[in-house]
Every structure is written in structure tokens, then in C-alpha cells.
Amino acid sequence: MMNAIDHLYYLYLNPLIDANKYSTIAAWSLAIARALAANKVDPQQVFAEVGLNLQQLESAPNSRIAIEQMTSLWGYAQQVTNNEAFGLCVGQYAYPIHFSELGSLLINSKTLAAAFETLPHYGPLVSNSAAVSLQRTPTLLGFTITPLNSVEISHLAIDAFFASLMLLGKQMIGQQALVKKVELQKANVTNPATWETFFNANVDFNQTQNCMWMDRTILEQPVAHRDQHLAEQKETSVQQYLTQMQSLSWREKTSQGIHTLLVDQQPNAAKIAQMFNISERTLSRYLQVEGCNFRQLLANKRLELAHHYLVNTPIAINCLSDTLGYTSVSNFSRSFQKWTGQSPGCYRKQHQQNRE
């Protein structure tokens, strides 16, 4: 049950939480349903247990599922299958055709490298609850998935995404040693060999990032049977879908953008404006019409994340200050005191006492 302080905090923060609207495309849930059926488990019953209607989702694969429900679905699916590597199984049932127009766009790319280069931009179509980025070395391309701070994503979802990308690559260029190594944040794996056998590569667990490293030479090979005209059509359709999906207020868009940037950099209005291909001045005007400004939204997002880390993690306050983009611990403490009337240390201690 929520204690008094948590309840007051929830009432204060609830509009911000609702505004985040972090979600996943329903096609992922259909891949889970197919994998459950392959494991002799009734998917309709599993979906019902977490409040989802499988028939409705099958009729609308482009619809969205709240990330909280999706994470619950992953957890319950793992429980009923008793399979810690269930995400790898799901990746085998994530058919490109079911991912709106994005799957067709990827398949009709000139090279695998070109296909993967589009994913950081179009990643929100699949899920807007993680930051997708690429890392490059002279010989490797690293596809990286970083969950947003305080947004809970199942490790099985990461496994499934990497598995589906690898299998898509093999579908496009044939059976080659595409993956060279995989780094996963998940720990406490009973049988690591399951992952190494699946990816046919070294897999390191308990890492600081989720990254699948692929051979750039293979990625840059031309893809046979591509259709340039179809690729252009699908890219237009994907952009239209994203526009529709992100038909949020500018307050909501900016809040999401701030959350994404806080993964690895300091947010500012110029960077947020660039994300949406508008000028900083235009962004400021849009926010003003909605009765807010960038500074307020940044402060609200920092408060939301500060609460999460102080209450739910043992992170040191000086590290939390850095994570939230403050120039010093004293600046963070001063801002937090102004928000809550308490220092970060007292706030954490009071919540710990209330939970005991």
C-alpha cells in the first residue's frame, strides 16, 4: 500500500507520469504469443493474466501497449515457460512483416549497414522506452539498446530484439557469421552457453551496456532482390506512422526527449528542438502556448528521476548528481531541497523508514 508521502508525491507527479506514454508496438506481443504457442502454452490465458486481449491485438498489430503491461507480459511469459532464454525464442517469431512498414523498409535496404543505420531514427516505432544508438570501430558496428532511466524494460525484450536483428540479417544476406560478440546488462544467468550457441559468438553478461557487435564487412555487402521504389514507399509510410504515434503535446514530446538525452548527455532546448527538426525558438513558442517552458520540464524530469533513484536504488548522491546532469552536488542538493523541502539524504532516509 502507498504510504502518505508516496501518495502525495504521486499526486504531484502523476500528470508527468501519464504524459510519458512509453509504449511498445503490439507486434512484439504477437511474437510472444507465437513463441508461447510453440512452447505448448495457451497465449490467450497468459495475455489475460496481464490485462491484454490477444484477439484485439491480433486485429491491430500497429497499436501500442504501455511499457508497464509489456514488461508484465514478458515476466509472466518467462514464469509459465520456466525459460530464462525465452526472449531468444521470441526473436525467432518477430517477423518483419508484422512491424508496420518498418520491416519492409529494412528488408529493402541497399545493405544491412543501411538497414541498421535507420533504426536509431525509427526505433521509437518499435518502442520509445529505450535509446537506440550505433557504435563503430574500424571492423565492427555495435547496435546498442539503453533503457531510459526509471523505465523498467525486461531483459527478455533486449534478447528478443537482438535475436530478431540477427535473424533478419541472415535472412537478407544468408547464413554468415554476422555477430562477433554480445554484451548484456543482465546477470545471474544459469546457462550462458544458451546465448553463445544462439548468437554463435562470445556473450558477456553483467556488462555496462546492451550491445550486439556485428562485422562491418558483412553488413556492407549488397542485398539481393531489393526494391528501391518499394523501400521509398515504406519509408514514407514509416514516417507517417511515427508522426501519428507521436501526436502528443509539445510538453509530452519535450519530456520524453529530455528523458532520452539524460541517458548519456546533458539535455538542452537546442538538442530537443533538433530531435523534432524545428528551431529552438519554435519549440519555446510551442511550449509557451501549452503554459510551460523547457526549464520547468527539465526540472520536473530531474525530480521524477531523483525520486526514483533515491527511493529504489542505493546510488550515491554524488553519482546521482552526475546522472541528472548537474554541474555539482551542491547544485543538485539545493534544487532538491527547493523541490521537496528536504535534502536528498534526508528524503532517502525518510522513505526507507516509511517502508520498514
**Residue 162, helix vs strand vs coil:** helix
Tens digit of each residue's pLDDT (9 = 90 or more) over 33-60: 999 999 999 999 999 999 999 988 888 8
What is the per-residue pLDDT for 275?
76
pLDDT at 100 over 70: no
- Residue 62 contacts by C-beta under 8 Å, 6 or more apart in sequence? 25, 26, 27, 100, 241
pLDDT at 233 over 60: no
Q: Is the pTM of this model over 0.95?
A: no
Tens digit of each residue's pLDDT (9 = 90 or more) over 66-90: 888 999 999 999 999 999 999 999 9
What is the per-residue pLDDT for 183?
97
Task: Give which of 36, 159, 23, 171 is closest to 96, Cα–Cα.
Answer: 171
Superfamily of domain 248-355: Homeodomain-like (1.10.10.60)
Q: What is the dihedral of CA 122, 127, 130, 136, to 10 degrees?
A: -40
Structural domain boundaries in the chain? 88-240, 248-355
Tens digit of each residue's pLDDT (9 = 90 or more) over 253-272: 888 788 877 766 788 899 88
What is the per-residue pLDDT for 96?
58
The answer to whether the beta carbons of residues 31 and 93 sit under 8 Å apart is yes
The answer to whether the beta carbons of residues 24 and 126 sit under 8 Å apart is yes
